[in-house]
Chain A
Amino acid sequence: MRSADPIAPGLRARAERLGQSLPPLLAAADHLASAVVLGDHGRRRAGMGDEFWQYRQAHSGDSARMIDWRRSARGDVQFVREREWQAAQSVSLWVDASASMRFSGDTARPPKGDRARLLALALAVLLLRGGERVGVMGDHSPPRSGRAQAERLALALSVDGAEDYGRPETTGLALHGRAVLVSDFLGDLAGVEAALAAAAERGVRGAMLQVLDPAEEDFPFDGRTIFESMGGQLSFETLRAGDLRARYLARLAERRDRLLALARASGWHFSTHHTGDSPQAALLWLYRALEAAL
């Protein structure tokens, strides 16, 4: 399933003009998240929570008001109704807002940044629905839960950065929380390494999702070309772009290997998503990666 293009600026502007209360990005994220029905993720052990976990025999020390009288009335033994432990986690999101994310290799495809925001917000919606607290890294407000948080997140994510390549910010990482980094990871990897190191210090684990345009995977260029970064700070001239393809692809694979190694070393998950593909698969992967980490 491919959601209707929610991120086109025109559509957004129109949506705002129409006075819709729900930001279109949020609507698309809701739409995307609603396709994933997994239910609340319990801790698979008894504890504080709303959901029923098991009945156990009452033993000494249990106060009388803990006894489930309806169940106990059926026999001679007193039962205590235990609930599943449902502890809310803090998840921090970071979506690369730099210029490089505004690239799209084809007018039919959304820019990478739009896809990254969509995925992050959909994930946030899912998590919020599960009762988790979700926040944005680099934001000064702490992770919160609740439906209203989704709108605040959408607002926070919609800020565009000016720099060429993004660098994850590590402020606002909750202790032992979870983190999600969504970027193209084409810039300097030192920032990513630093962010992972900072996260490890705070006992934070999570997932890294690399969002790439298919053009960046294929390098379908030829002829005399001057390549410029999206911000225009970097430029590179070649006379026969087609000759560079193999070497470019080798470098890209090498970078991906390095990111994977980084992720493994610090207990993170890493995957690549292409804007040409359906966002559904990437969202599922993100959700499962977080679930495993939770």
Chain B
Amino acid sequence: MWMIGPVGFTSPLILLGLLALPLLWLLLRAVPPAPIRRRFPGVALLLGLRDSDVEAMRTPWWLLLLRAVAIGAAILAFAGPVLNPAAPAPASDAPLLVVIDGGWADARDWPRRVDQATRVVEAAGRAGRRVALLRLSDAPQTPVFQAAQAVRDRLVGLAPQPFAPANLAGWGQLLPAEAFETYWISDGLDHPGRAGLLALMQARGQVRVFESPRPVLALRPVGFKDGAVQITALRLPAGAAAEVEVSARGLDPAGIERELARAQLPFAAGEDRAETALPLPPELRNRLTRFEIIGQRTAGAVTLTDDSLKRRKVALIGGGAGKEGLLLLSPTHYLRQALAPVAELIDGSLTDVLVANPDVIVLADVARLTQAESDGLQTWVSKGGLLLRFAGPKLAASDIARDTADPLLPVRLRQGGRSLGGAMSWGDPRSLAPFAESSPFFGLPIPAEVTVKAQVLAQPDPDLAARSIATLADGTPLVTRKALGQGQIVLFHVTANADWSSLPLSGLFVQMLERLAVSARPALLDAAELAGQTFAPEKVLDAFGQPQEPQGLPGVRGEDLAKLPPAADRLPGLYAGEDRLIALNVISPQTELSPAVWPASVPVEGGEAAREQPLKGAFLVLGLGLLLLDILAALWLSGRLSGRLAVRLCVLGLALSLAPQARAQDDFALEATTSLRLGYVVTGDSTVDRLSEAGLRGLGMRLFERTTIEPATPMAVDIERDELAFFSFLYWPVTADQALPSVNAYRKLNDYLRTGGMILFDTRDAGIGGTSPEARRLQLIAAALDIPPLEPIPPDHVLTRTFYLLQDFPGRQTGTIWVEAAPPDAAQAEGMPFRNLNDGVTPVVIGGNDWAAAWAVDDQGIPLYPVGRGSVGDRQREISYRFGVNLIMHVFTGNYKSDQVHVPALLERLGQ
């Protein structure tokens, strides 16, 4: 390639044609424009007149220039100009090492990276070079150079990992000693040890780097401060001002995950972080499960929430209510101090707070309960409440649970209690014994200054030891607990104030409350705190930020879990311990995104600035445009361009330029409503759009032949621009590279679905488990849609009998389809063949059977695409048409066929 400045030419020899331009100049100059012959009676008056200007015998200079530039542009175009041509790979036969970071940041444009890697590997294969592929996020192993084809096959199934590569130094030690060339597809982040590895690779041979220009966006774990959820987003590089949207998702009261709130995070220009506070009511906040940056499909753009965001409702009920006394002596003062920052406190009488259904009820030295209160408490505890009781003078003085076990106390108590280290006693105040391994407090450090001066004593019972979860040094129980139904009852054998012990004054008190899940914990993971526990993964994230079931993953030890960041043995996700949930996120509160900086000696590809851009088309268009201009100029010069012709040309030009906008919404509305029309969503891929049109036309013909639904030709619907309300049915083929609808379009789509429209989503991939690019795209598109819970179509769904009796719904493929889930209480009535299912039309039908291709016909009504083979295929096509007929019938008649199920019952009631 031959370069002039930033422009290179693929076939520079053609540029020699430019030498012919002066010759052309002379030729053109010598030939004047051809004359027009005109019949004109007035010629008699012209005889004898002479032309004043002889120069007109020649072509004017500006027309010559125009033509010369046009020809020059054509010559330049055919010489193949390329702006910023990619530096060709140096010819080399050394083995090629393709390095992919393979971390979560790669997930943002993973297909592009795989494409790039495939290109490089294929090029190497053509050159006969051996290739090795390594993913830095794996555990280090020696790269093996093998045939390019084998590596290419591996690339197909390669996926990024949901954590960042960590052990780059380990890879460096295992690099082969022979010389090789390196192609590093970087995710743009600096990983520890990257510089060292790069230096080692450079020692073996040339290193080239590919970086994607797309910014990396990440979401830090959310915090809670000042009554609002604090959200921080990071980005790299810090470019122009931008705004990202963060979606807060959680379970709704019906247990379905949906978006609960949305926050805008504006990045100022040049800033690499954006913060915002999202005030949420506690009810909503306690439901949150995850935050994600909308439109970013990486694990880094997702942050899971654990118990740290939850604020438990705690009801404090002190026995000394109404008694005059000092604040510090109040039985609930220390509890209030400990819990106020981390929990929602409820005050009131016991009957009042039971109505509010708190998570925890604290009874501080309350002995007497009425029968109604006691019953209410028992019911509440057995439904999962935590009853936390503290002893005190009243409890010690009362006679409850002396002889028989009180249902609201974990143990029987001995009369009077005991006091230690007082003026009248011999013993010293007792300190605490270390917590047993079975205790929820296991691992908490015990401060030496915590002493107990008085306590109530438990009666020795067979299960006393099992119920004690904290004891004094002399073995007497300090905290006992028993389960009641789904809840539990915990008794501190001391007071909640500092009367009987110094426990409420210590930090241990707060930690114990945390362990008991009375209060929320700080978000930071503390290795010492987690030590000794094992956490089982409940849900793990893949690199694209999608939650996966942890199939076969082992539990993680607490101290490992506290080690940040996630790694292969501790995938990001949600981990359940004995009594708490811990979220392990890719991005920790301390994480900073630091860019990978490459030395100047390493060529970096893929940047926005150095995009290779062929200019051939532009030059050809320029030449053609100039030649068109030349036609006009020549016409004008020879007098053939009369005023009227010029006006017509202008009108034509105007009409052409205005025509695309001329389609008025009114016309669209008229067209859509004057007859029944099926609509299909325009994907932007013309092949798919044509197929949709042909498919719906074919289905329309079948409907016309067989049913009373007689649709006109289908219409293309642009969800951004067109009104959707005119259509009862939309067919939406999903392509992998479809643009996401705008906010406005989503609003329209949701309105459409809510008001009874139906969309048939077709991923055209035979419904292979939701892993195809189309299915991923559909998940992304549908995330913001108001879609009810779905289920695979049950055999008694009304869609199976709206017109034909069907059990399969094939298109060109045969996969299962998903419809709105039946209500959980749908039951099969006596004597009815079907359950009484949803009232109404399922708003979406989702499948991947490529129905349009099975339905598609050409203008003669001949099917466009083969389905299956032979008569089996014909049968499949017929069933596919029947599915279409059933579907459209379902759209228009709703659950009519469901209603017919009740006919026997109705007849019976009428006495027939």
Enumerate B35-62 residues with CB–CB distance to A below 8 Å: 35-47, 49, 51-54, 56-57
With an 8 A cutoff between CB atoms, is B637 at the interface? yes
Contact B37 A228 (CB under 8 A): yes
Q: A220–B642 contact, CB under 8 A?
A: yes
Partner of B46, one of A165, A224, A236, A240: A236
Complex alpha-carbon distance, A227 and B51, angstroms:
14
Distance between Cα atoms of A184 and B35 in the complex (Å): 27
A219, CB-defined interface residue at 8 Å: yes
A224 touching B34, Cβ below 8 Å: yes
Query: In the bound complex, how far is the Cα of B41 from the Cα of A227, in angstroms?
Result: 9
Contact partners of B594 in chain A: CB under 8 A = none
Whether a CB of chain B sits under 8 angstroms from the CB of A76 is no
Chain B residue with Cβ nearest A247: B49
Chain A positions within 8 Å of B53 at CB level: 239-240, 243
Main secondary structure of the interface of B (DSSP, over half): loop
CA distance A225 to B40 in the complex (A): 11
Residue B486 is within 8 A (CB to CB) of chain A in the complex? no
Q: Is B142 an interface residue (CB 8 A)?
A: no
A243 near B52: Cβ-Cβ < 8 Å: yes
Q: Select the stretch in A49-57, A248-256, A282-290 that faces chain B.
A: A248-256
B56, A227: Cβ atoms closer than 8 Å: no
Q: Does A190 contact B (CB under 8 A)?
A: no
Q: B639 an interface residue at 8 Å Cβ cutoff? A: yes
State how many angstroms separate the Cβ of B35 from the closest Cβ of chain A: 4
Q: Is the CB of A224 within 8 A of B42?
A: no
On whether A103 and B36 interact (CB within 8 A), knowing A223-B639, A238-B46, A240-B51, the answer reads no
Does the CB pair A223–B40 fall under 8 Å?
Answer: no
List B contacts of A222 (CB < 8 A): 639
Q: A224-B34, A242-B639 are in contact. Are A186 and B39 (CB under 8 A)?
A: no
Give Cα distance in the complex from A237 to B43, angstroms.
10
Complex: how many Å from CA A227 to CA B33? 16
Q: Which residues of B contact A227 (CB under 8 A)?
A: 38-40, 42-43, 46
How many residue pairs link A and B with beta carbons under 8 A? The number is 108
Proximity bits, A138-165, B CB within 8 Å = 1, else 0: 0000000000000000000000000001
What residues of B have a CB within 8 angstroms of the CB of A243 in the complex? Answer: 51-53
Residues of A within 8 A of B875 (CB): none
Closest residue on chain A to residue B35 by CB atoms: A224
A244 at the interface (CB under 8 A from B): yes
In the complex, which residues of chain A have a beta carbon less than 8 angstroms from the beta carbon of B637? 223
A193–B51 Cα distance when bound, in Å, is 32
**Does A187 sit within 8 A of B, measured CB to CB?**
yes
CA distance A251 to B49 in the complex (A): 11
Known: A243-B52, A247-B49. A225 touches B35 (CB 8 A): yes
Complex CA distance for A104 and B53, rounded to whole angstroms:
29
Is the Cβ of A226 less than 8 Å from the Cβ of B46? no
A100 is an interface residue with CB less than 8 A from chain B:
yes
Chain A min CB distance to B30 (Å):
15
Contact present for B32 and A224 (CB under 8 Å): yes
Closest chain-A Cβ to B576's Cβ sits at a distance in Å of 91
Q: Which B residues, 1 to 36, have Cβ-Cβ distances below 8 Å to chain A?
A: 32-36
Contact B44 A187 (CB under 8 A): yes
The 9 A-B pairs at the shortest CB distance, nearest first, are namely: A223-B639, A222-B639, A100-B41, A223-B638, A239-B56, A224-B35, A227-B43, A251-B45, A227-B40
B residues bordering A, Cβ < 8 Å?
32-47, 49, 51-54, 56-57, 637-640, 642
What are 30 A-B interface contacts by the 8 Å CB criterion? A112-B41, A165-B41, A186-B41, A186-B45, A219-B42, A220-B642, A223-B35, A223-B639, A224-B36, A225-B36, A225-B38, A226-B36, A226-B37, A227-B38, A227-B39, A227-B46, A228-B40, A229-B40, A229-B41, A230-B39, A230-B41, A236-B46, A238-B49, A239-B56, A240-B52, A240-B53, A240-B56, A243-B52, A244-B51, A255-B45
Residues of A within 8 A of B (CB): 100-101, 103, 112, 165, 184, 186-187, 213, 215-216, 219-230, 232, 234-244, 247-248, 251-252, 255
